[in-house]
């Protein structure tokens, strides 16, 4: 199962030359954890990079070691230009994690608060509501697979995230994530509707979370509050303030994710690995 992507690239004709194949073969076999989003790993471009081919396209991953554990970092918005949330190749990113052999995904997401959380505080996501519209959201287009998402975010990684936040003495809550299609921000009316049943709103967490489930991976998300959602304050929302808050929080996020990586148990005792049991028709 490991290095599935290597076979895929060779069979699928995605590789361009021998050099790229060699680069891919060098991905260490013991990569256990993927960090998706890359916030806090702003120096990732200095890490060793590898090109992973997937049936959905190529993904550049960055290899590093955190607290003695091999980790891949996949920056969601990477590319020559910042890839907007509705154009991110979520399937390729999650397939790359899977094909490398990593079983755990720690995702970082910037979110707007619909509950007045302080800007710069953190939310460990515990459920989600999907308002996306135009994103390929499954690996199973040719057969029927109804994957169970009654516990979408891995309980073991969530415990590790909470432990890391507590160790750092950082304010956090747990909460429900509403994912919108974007790229525009939400309207006041949309926020009034969504804050009836969700705590924070963002554009990048779905379908990543359910795609991870479809491949029986453990996936959890650390959300950082970058702004108050539309209508929660009198101020206009700007993308600049989001970037500014994330920039200031880089060091804190790096420490939280590093502690989380250290705290995750060696073996998986959660039920994530059975996500597909009974799911296939
Ligand atoms: Zn799990």
Distance 156 CA to ligand 1 centre (A): 6
Can you say which residues are annotated as belonging to the binding site?
A: 76-77, 203-204, 227-229
pLDDT of residue 244: 84
- H or E stretch including 91? helix 90-100
* 3-state SS class at 121: coil
Distance 267 CA to ligand 1 centre (A): 10
Pairing of strands 104-113, 33-36: parallel
**Residue 206 φ then ψ, to 5°:** -125, 135
Q: Encode pLDDT of 133-172 as tens digits.
A: 999 999 999 999 999 999 999 999 999 999 999 999 998 9
Half-sphere exposure of 240 (CA within 13 A, CB side): 2
Mean pLDDT, rounded, of the chain:
87
- Tokens representing residue 62 in the block: 């960055």
73 and 192 in contact (C-beta within 8 Å)? no
Distance 237 CA to ligand 1 centre (A): 35
Distance 186 CA to ligand 1 centre (A): 31
Distance 48 CA to ligand 1 centre (A): 27
pLDDT of residue 231: 81
Pairing of strands 69-74, 48-54: unpaired
Of 234 and 33, which is predicted with more confidence? Answer: 33
The reported pTM is: 0.88
Q: How far apart are CA 76 and CA 80, in angstroms?
A: 12
Pairing of strands 104-113, 218-228: parallel
Distance 81 CA to ligand 1 centre (A): 33
Distance 261 CA to ligand 1 centre (A): 13
230 and 186 in contact (C-beta within 8 Å)? yes
Q: Encode pLDDT of 58-86 as tens digits.
A: 999 999 999 999 999 999 887 666 888 99
Using CA atoms in the order 109, 115, 120, 124, what is the torsion angle rounded to 10 degrees?
A: -50
* 3-state SS class at 48: strand
Nearest alpha carbon to residue 64 among 85, 79, 51, 45 = 45
All structural domains of the chain, each given as residue ranges with its CATH number in brackets, are 4-274 (3.40.50.1580)
CA 43 from centroid of its chain's CA atoms: 18
Q: 224: which DSSP letter?
A: E
Distance 277 CA to ligand 1 centre (A): 14
Does 50 sit behind a cis peptide bond, omega within 30 degrees of 0 on the bond before it? no
pLDDT of residue 7: 34
Does 4 score more than 60 pLDDT? no
Indicate left, alpha or beta for 71 from its phi (over 0: left) and psi (-120 to 50: alpha).
Answer: beta
Q: How far apart are CA 189 and CA 241, in angstroms?
A: 22
Can you say which residues are annotated as belonging to the binding site for substrate?
A: 203, 227-229
Per the listing, tokens 């980790």 go with 71
Does 16 score more than 80 pLDDT? no
């Amino acid at each position: 199962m490991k290095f599935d992507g290597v076979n895929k690239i060779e069979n699928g004709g995605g590789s361009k030359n021998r050099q790229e194949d060699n680069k891919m073969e060098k991905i260490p076999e013991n990569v256990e954890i993927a960090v998706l989003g890359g916030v806090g790993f702003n120096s990732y471009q200095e890490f060793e990079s590898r090109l992973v081919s997937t049936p959905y396209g190529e993904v550049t991953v960055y290899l590093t070691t955190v607290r003695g554990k091999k980790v891949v970092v996949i920056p969601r918005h990477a590319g020559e230009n910042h890839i907007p949330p509705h154009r991110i190749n979520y399937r390729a990113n999650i397939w790359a994690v899977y094909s490398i052999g990593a079983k755990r995904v720690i995702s970082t997401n910037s979110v707007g608060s619909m509950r007045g959380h302080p800007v710069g505080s953190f939310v460990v996501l515990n459920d989600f509501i999907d308002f996306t519209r135009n994103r390929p959201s499954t690996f199973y287009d040719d057969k029927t697979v109804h994957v169970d998402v009654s516990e979408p975010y891995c309980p073991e990684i969530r415990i590790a995230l909470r432990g890391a936040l507590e160790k750092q003495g950082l304010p956090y809550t747990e909460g429900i994530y509403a994912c919108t299609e974007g790229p525009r921000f939400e309207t006041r009316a949309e926020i009034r509707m969504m804050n009836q049943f969700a705590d924070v709103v963002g554009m990048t967490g779905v379908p990543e979370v359910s795609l991870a489930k479809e491949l029986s991976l453990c996936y959890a998300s650390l959300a950082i509050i970058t702004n108050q959602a539309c209508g929660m304050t009198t101020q206009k929302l700007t993308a600049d303030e989001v970037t500014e808050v994330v920039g200031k929080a880089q060091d804190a996020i790096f420490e939280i994710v590093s502690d989380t990586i250290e705290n995750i148990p060696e073996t998986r005792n959660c039920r994530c690995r059975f996500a597909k049991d009974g799911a296939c028709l």
